[in-house]
Amino acid sequence: MKIKQVILVDSQDNVAGEEDLYSAHRHPAQRHRAVSVWIVRDKDGEREILLQKRSFEKIVGADQWGNGICGNVRPGESYLGCANRRLEEEIGLKDLSLSELYKFEYKVYSNEKYGEHEIDQVYITKYDGEFELNPMEVAQIEWVKLSELEKRLEGIEYITAKETLTYETNQLQDKTPSIELMLNDKISEIAPWTAIMLFNKKLRTSLRTF
């Protein structure tokens, strides 16, 4: 089987080459392109956010909760093309209308072998229907009330994406942990890149108003 490739980029998001998935994520992770999609719906007068529990097969964020979907952009693929591909591959959704929010660069420590260093294009969409989960990608999904999520985030401080870029791998281990939140009456371990996004004011506003 051919190992999946990712697009390496410089700090201005100019293409700098290609690398296989594992080498790109091995410490110190190499900067590459990625996408994140947030999925929202309105139910019983409440705004809800879709979270997914990543499968044990993932080399980063295994068994942690993240946003709707995320993925690495492949050579020859656009950000939008990657987002649509991953929506179908992970949770079986096609032909959603995606709205572009913002792009950011960050680094995190994931485990003793792998980490992330991504330029991540963030999208948002509305959807309230059925899903077809790929168990190799997603262990579980849940809708979470945004009001509950924001309440659980109160009083928690987390590093910003910009701050992560100033740290080396050994420092990131302490600075970019996953965070535990009580959601839907159980403790959920939130992946560090999802935590970074949740503390971004622009994203929080979009989750409320989109």
Give catalytic residues, as residue numbers.
70, 118
Instruction: Show the tokens assigned to 157.
Output: 């401080």
Query: Omega into 75 within 30° of 0, i.e. cis?
Result: no
Q: What is the amino acid identity at position 182?
A: M
Secondary structure of the chain in HEC code, one letter for each residue? CCCCEEEEECCCCCEEEEEEHHHHHECCCCCEEEEEEEEEEEECCEEEEEEEEECCCCCCCCCCEECCEEEECCCCCCHHHHHHHHHHHHHCCCCCCCEEEEEEEEEEECCCCEEEEEEEEEEEEECCCCCCCCCCCEEEEEEEEHHHHHHHHCCCCCCCHHHHCCCCHHHHHHHCCCEEEEECCEEEEECHHHHHHHCCHHHHHHHHHC
Using alpha carbons only, how large is the chain's radius of gyration in Å? Answer: 16
